[in-house]
Structure formats: C-alpha cells, structure tokens
C-alpha cells in the first residue's frame, strides 16, 4: 500500500553517520565522556582509554600564598576546567569564598573553562574570541603594563606562550601549580585488544599530553612500537598543538578539528565518515 514512501534511502539513516566505525577515545580518568556519548549517539562503537589522570600539585604552597594575598592581584586567568575546580576548592579549604575575588577581574580561555566557572555562578570579565589562548593578549580589554596577574595552571607540561606574551606587554604574571596531570597505570583490556587486532577505524586525541601518555602507556604492551598497529587507523586531533604532537610521535595526523572543541572534533569525524574529508 505504502510503496511510494521510500523507507530508507541508505542502509544507515543520516542520524547514524558513524555506524560500523570503531573509535578509541583517549581522555582523562574520571572525566565524564560526553564526547564518547556523542560519537556513540552517531552510531559508533566507542572504546575508552583513559590516557591522563588529574591529581593535586606536588605542593599547595605557591597557590596558598597567592590566595592569602588575593586582593593584591588585578586579574585572575583560568585556562582549564581543572584549573577552575582546583582553584575554587583550594579557596574554600583556605576559608574563603568567591567574595574574596570581588576586586579581581577574571579572564578565561576555553569553552569548558567557561562552563566550569558558570557552575560557581561567576561571570568572567573577559573571554577572548573563539575561546582561544592565542587571541587573549591581542584582544585584552585594558593595558597590561604594571598589571599583576594570577595564573593557576597545570604543574608541568603546560604551554608557555601565554605567560611570555603577557610579560612582554608589561604584566607581572604569578604562575602557581593548581593541579598536575600524570600518566595512568594501565590500559583497559578492550583497548589493548582493539589495538593489537587493528580493529580501530579511528583514534581521537584532545590534548598533546594524551598523545604523549598514550605512547607511554602502549610502550610496555607493544615494545615493537605502536605505530605499526595504527596503520589502518585514522588519527584525529582537536587542534594544531595536539596535531604537532601527533606528527612528532606518529609521523602523521589525518583529521584536525576546524573549531578546537569537542563539537568541532565530532563534526570533523562525521565529515570524515561521510567521505567529505581527504
């Protein structure tokens, strides 16, 4: 009767563009995997592999000293949701709350950072265009000369560019470790099996450190090098910084998000699956 209704143009309706694809998502331990959920919703088989663990810094002393003199700073710069969480937890531990930040202006980088700050009911005074660190200094809303800036950040392996640029414009930047990221102890079995059998269509990296730690983690199980096991696997990166690390360690990167966010990466992966990329 209803033969004139074409039920389905293709074997997979466009709602599941990733059907039949197996994707390895590297992320940090304990981070809720909204990204993995999105890929799964688009039809992918998702295997998660925590390649990063967020822990307290080796010492709280620098951050505690900064918190005790918080009213002497002009600006607070936050560039990660981990920075936000650890900073505010420590503020509370030291018996202060957000009212201690009244005189401070807050600048932030990153969409996730903005979401984390929102949870604390705090409005930032400045967000650079596209949430990108490189545009922070260029578009800064006031002269940086003589400004005292507090920058709570990851203890090791962070980028120095921002501090250099702020300092070059006359700001005094006090960097304090607010958290550390380290390599987890082991690989989930499902991830190890998929890597060994070469069944992964795609592997995703959302930071340089996850690329480095992925290589460290796999080195023990794959002493002959992981790259040969990735020969049929597409490598997807969230942005230029991460791509550079992929080039250094794998010799290639196949997909880079246009917009350096999880949404941007999801979009790029779907375009790749639909044959619209390379």
Structure tokens at 68: 């005790």
The tokens for 143 are: 């002269």
Give bridge partners of residue 256 from the DSSP assignment: 237
Cα dihedral 142, 146, 150, 155 sign: positive
Q: What would the pLDDT profile of 113-155 be if each residue is shown by its tens digit? A: 999 999 999 999 999 877 677 788 989 999 999 999 999 999 9
The model carries a pTM of 0.76
DSSP notation for 205-232: ESSHHHHHHHHHHHHHH-TT-SGGGGTT
Residue 59: C-alpha distances to residues 64, 84, 173 (Å): 9, 17, 19
| CA distances from residue 48 to 63, 126, 183, 225 in whole angstroms, order as listed | 33, 35, 15, 21
Handedness of CA 56, 60, 64, 65 (dihedral sign): negative
Query: Are 105 and 136 within 8 A, CB to CB?
Result: no
| 201-251: pLDDT as tens digits | 999 999 899 999 999 999 989 999 999 999 999 999 999 999 999 999 999
Sign of CA dihedral 58, 154, 168, 139: negative
Instruction: Read off the tokens for 226.
Output: 């992981």
The model's pLDDT over 7-64, given as tens digits with 9 standing for 90+, comes to 444 455 567 999 999 999 998 887 768 899 999 999 999 999 999 999 999 999 999 9
């Amino acid at each position: 009767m209803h033969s004139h209704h074409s039920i389905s143009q293709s074997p997979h309706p466009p709602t599941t563009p990733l059907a039949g694809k197996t994707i390895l998502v590297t992320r940090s331990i304990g981070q809720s995997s909204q990204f993995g959920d999105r890929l799964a919703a688009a039809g992918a088989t998702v295997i998660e592999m925590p390649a990063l663990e967020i822990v307290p810094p080796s010492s709280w002393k620098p951050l505690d000293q900064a918190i005790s003199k918080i009213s002497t700073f002009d600006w607070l710069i936050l560039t990660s949701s981990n920075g936000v969480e650890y900073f505010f937890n420590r503020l509370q531990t030291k018996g202060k709350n957000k009212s201690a930040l009244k005189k401070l202006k807050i600048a932030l980088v990153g969409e996730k950072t903005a979401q984390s700050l929102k949870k604390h009911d705090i409005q930032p005074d400045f967000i650079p265009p596209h949430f990108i660190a490189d545009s922070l200094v260029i578009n800064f809303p006031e002269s940086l000369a003589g400004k005292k800036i507090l920058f709570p950040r990851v203890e090791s392996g962070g980028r120095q560019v921002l501090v250099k640029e702020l300092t070059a414009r006359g700001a005094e930047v006090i960097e304090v470790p607010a958290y550390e990221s380290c390599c987890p102890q082991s690989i989930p079995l499902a991830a190890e099996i998929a890597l060994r059998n070469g069944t992964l269509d795609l592997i995703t990296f959302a930071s340089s450190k996850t690329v480095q730690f992925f290589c460290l983690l796999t080195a023990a199980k794959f002493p002959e090098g992981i790259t040969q096991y990735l020969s049929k696997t597409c490598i997807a990166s969230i942005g230029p910084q991460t791509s550079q690390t992929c080039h250094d360690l794998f010799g290639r990167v196949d997909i880079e998000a246009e917009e350096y966010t999880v949404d941007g990466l999801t979009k790029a992966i779907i375009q790749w699956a639909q044959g619209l990329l390379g």
